[in-house]
Copies of this chain bind each other. A is one copy, B any other.
Amino acid sequence: MPLPTNTHRLAEALFAPRSVALIGISDDAAKTAGRPLRFLRKHGFAGAIHPVNPRRETVQGERAYASLDDVPGTIDHAYILVNTPSVEEAVADCARHGVAVATILAAGFAEAGEDGRRRQQRLVELAGAGGMRLVGPNSLGVVNAYRALTLTANASFLTDTLPKGRLTVISQSGSLLGTFLSRGGARGIGFAKMISVGNEADLSVGEIGAMLADDPDTDAFLLFLETIRRPEEIARFAALARHAGKPILAYKLGRSEAGQELAVSHTGAMLGSDIAAEVFLRRHGIERVDHLETLLEAAPLMIGRAPAAGRRARGVGVVATTGGGAAMVVDRLGVLGVEVAVPSAATAERLKTAGIAAEPGRILDLTLAGTRYEVMRAALDTLLAAPEFALVVAVVGSSAQFNPELAVKPIIDCAGNAKPIAVFLTPQADATLSLLAAHGVAAFRTPEACADGIAAYLRRTQRAPEAAIDAAAVARARSVLQEAPGEVLDERRSAAFFAALGIPPVASITLDLDGTLRSLPFPFPVAAKVLSADIPHKTEAGGVALGIASPQELGERARVLVSTVRERRPEARLDGILVQPMTAGVAELLLGYRRDPQVGPVVTVGMGGTLAELYRDFAVRMAPVSAAEATDMITELRGAAVLSGYRGAQAGDVAALADAVARISMLAQLPEVVEAEINPLIVKPAGGGVTAVDGLVHQARD
């Protein structure tokens, strides 16, 4: 997938400009708006630097230009440092002068409400009119360590050295540039490029990533995300990076509601679901990590190692010079559901042959054998060669601090293996961490980040297989939609809609509102529900009666239903009484489909019932999914044991369930569907299929 040449020119202007202008640079080098000049000089940027400040002849001892008109030659990249109200003029100026790209420091745009959004839109228009691209607003700048380009206002760049490395950071938080520069610097982790994308008014995370996918200085991408903007560009970036064999890791805020709210108010983004964002990232092979430092530490596990094709050994082997230290990692891995495997008999035998007299067990504890190069080396060689392990964890204790030649050197000497080694050092040992970083070994400062990074590595798989779309079924479902009058389909139409899609509904007949029964095509007991497109949640409106045993009871309870609902929801139009047989199966599940405002169509399957809802036991994927992926989703449910014959009970028809999940996910082909849900879907014993008992469909109407 070659990028057009102008993309390369843009990347050059952005990260390797021959000339930069600092618009509104302050004379005070300590001030935010004064820092970029100081940093560029300090780190020895070799290109032309043009300070622009209409109020001063010199800035920080250098000649300042009154305006861009006075600046000689062309400007590749301008950093606009003026206050919010002056940004528009500065952008217009830059565009007029043929600047290729401008980065904007000021905040107060889309994240500051409707007015700000409009101001931001004007910036994009002004830039676009001159063919100029924008980074930000609200951007702390752009860094390229290989060009000593520190076009940034982040205070951490006051550091004396700018360590070069092979990681590129793309961040929605400008603060993170300093966080990673300083934390990485202390332990030998350097960076290729760093960029603070701010509000992404123009250039987005995805577009910037895509233009760097073939960057020869970059081996992996680290994303710090508060939200997902322009998912299609992120998807393109991910595809290019995958093609180039470069992993992308992401830390994303928003696991909690408080965090989600902050992200929205902080970035002015739309509120999407965090889990939808997570499955979006995973679908595109972007691994989300849970801990901040994992983002800094885990990339070497993945660099140069393609995701596994299909299922493979997932066991983790552990070798340690400290049992207690290793136990912290193993305990945490257990919490994350990662299997720490005991060496096989063959591996145990090979360890013995290698002269390693350690107890066989989850941790190959070398404490008794003594901390020596030969012992550690033989242990690592043996574990790395063992087919039962997908990855080896090496935990090194106190010797890591003053004697890395004993147990750390052998790790470095094994680092070229196709299987990765994850290292946790129990003491503070920055020099040793630097040594490991220099040799491309993933080393972790905390047992928690170590386990987090390992789990992320093991989650990596090839892209999900393409889902097969039943086009005829989708077309039939569309016709049902087109005949439906409003935004919400009533239960009868919903049933027809899902039936068209290939998900069988429960039998039903519709009676008049007085519940008068002529004949019933199924036996008692039955359930009765008011039929109304205006009442999506019938139970809460008092519109459902269960376990009705006779025609007489049906009539009585139908009348109660109607009067209750009329009292509670007087505005609702009632179209009849829907009667269905009482249905039972092995389990009740919930299927959901939704067009997430950030990332698009997602499909959900969860255990049904109130408790499962409270426990949030559901699995989510980008839609559509194949039946195989649907089966994976079902397996993920904590309540899935119920489907596979829990405690001697009957097993459920998982194949039919997976088919239903795949079918509801095909709604991704019907953009007019905003949301759809089947709750409950009854799963019958194996071979018996599934039955949709109640459903809900929302369609978009102009």
Chain A residues engaging chain B, CB cutoff 8 angstroms? 107, 154-156, 158-159, 172-176, 178-179, 181-183, 185-186, 224, 226, 253-259, 261-263, 265-266, 291-293, 322-325, 327-328, 330-335, 340, 359, 361-363, 367-368, 397-399, 401-403, 426-430, 446-448, 539-540, 607, 609-612, 614-615, 617, 638-639, 641-642, 646-648
Cβ-defined contact, B253 with A182, below 8 A: no
In the complex, which of the residues B159, B173, B258 contacts A331, with contact meaning CB atoms closer than 8 Å? B258
Cβ-defined contact, B224 with A401, below 8 A: no
- Give the chain B neighbours of A255 by CB distance below 8 A: 331-332, 334-335
In the complex, which of the residues B155, B368, B446 contacts A107, with contact meaning CB atoms closer than 8 Å? B368
Closest to A426 in B: B179
| Residue among A257, A259, A261 facing the most chain B CB atoms (10 A cut-off) | A259
The CA-CA distance from A540 to B340 in the complex, in Å, is 32
A-B contact pairs, 7 of them (CB 8 A): A154-B398, A178-B397, A178-B427, A181-B427, A256-B330, A610-B646, A614-B638
Cβ-defined contact, B262 with A330, below 8 A: yes
- Give the chain B neighbours of A182 by CB distance below 8 A: 398, 401, 427-429
Contacts A182-B427, A262-B331 known; list 4 others, CB within 8 Å.
Answer: A155-B401, A156-B398, A254-B331, A615-B615
**So how many copies of this chain end up in the complex?**
2
Separation in Å of the A108 CB from the closest CB of chain B?
8
Given known contacts A178-B427, A638-B615, A330 and B156 CB-to-CB distance under 8 angstroms: no
- Give the chain B neighbours of A325 by CB distance below 8 A: 173, 175, 179
The CA-CA distance from A174 to B398 in the complex, in Å, is 10
Given known contacts A175-B426, A614-B641, A258 and B328 CB-to-CB distance under 8 angstroms: no
The CA-CA distance from A403 to B402 in the complex, in Å, is 32
In the complex, which of the residues B178, B266, B363, B539 contacts A426, with contact meaning CB atoms closer than 8 Å? B178
Separation in Å of the A165 CB from the closest CB of chain B?
15
- Give the chain B neighbours of A322 by CB distance below 8 A: 173, 175
Nearest 7 CB-CB pairings of A with B: A256-B334, A173-B324, A259-B331, A155-B398, A258-B334, A178-B398, A182-B427
The CA-CA distance from A262 to B331 in the complex, in Å, is 8
- Give the chain B neighbours of A179 by CB distance below 8 A: 325, 397-398, 426-427
- Give the chain B neighbours of A638 by CB distance below 8 A: 614-615
- Give the chain B neighbours of A333 by CB distance below 8 A: 256, 258
Cβ-defined contact, B327 with A263, below 8 A: yes
Separation in Å of the A431 CB from the closest CB of chain B?
12
Separation in Å of the A409 CB from the closest CB of chain B?
16
Separation in Å of the A258 CB from the closest CB of chain B?
4
Separation in Å of the A621 CB from the closest CB of chain B?
21
- Give the chain B neighbours of A614 by CB distance below 8 A: 638-639, 641-642, 646
| Residue among A173, A368, A642 facing the most chain B CB atoms (10 A cut-off) | A173
The CA-CA distance from A512 to B39 in the complex, in Å, is 92
Cβ-defined contact, B155 with A402, below 8 A: yes
In the complex, which of the residues B185, B262, B368, B447 contacts A362, with contact meaning CB atoms closer than 8 Å? B262
Closest to A179 in B: B426
Cβ-defined contact, B258 with A330, below 8 A: yes
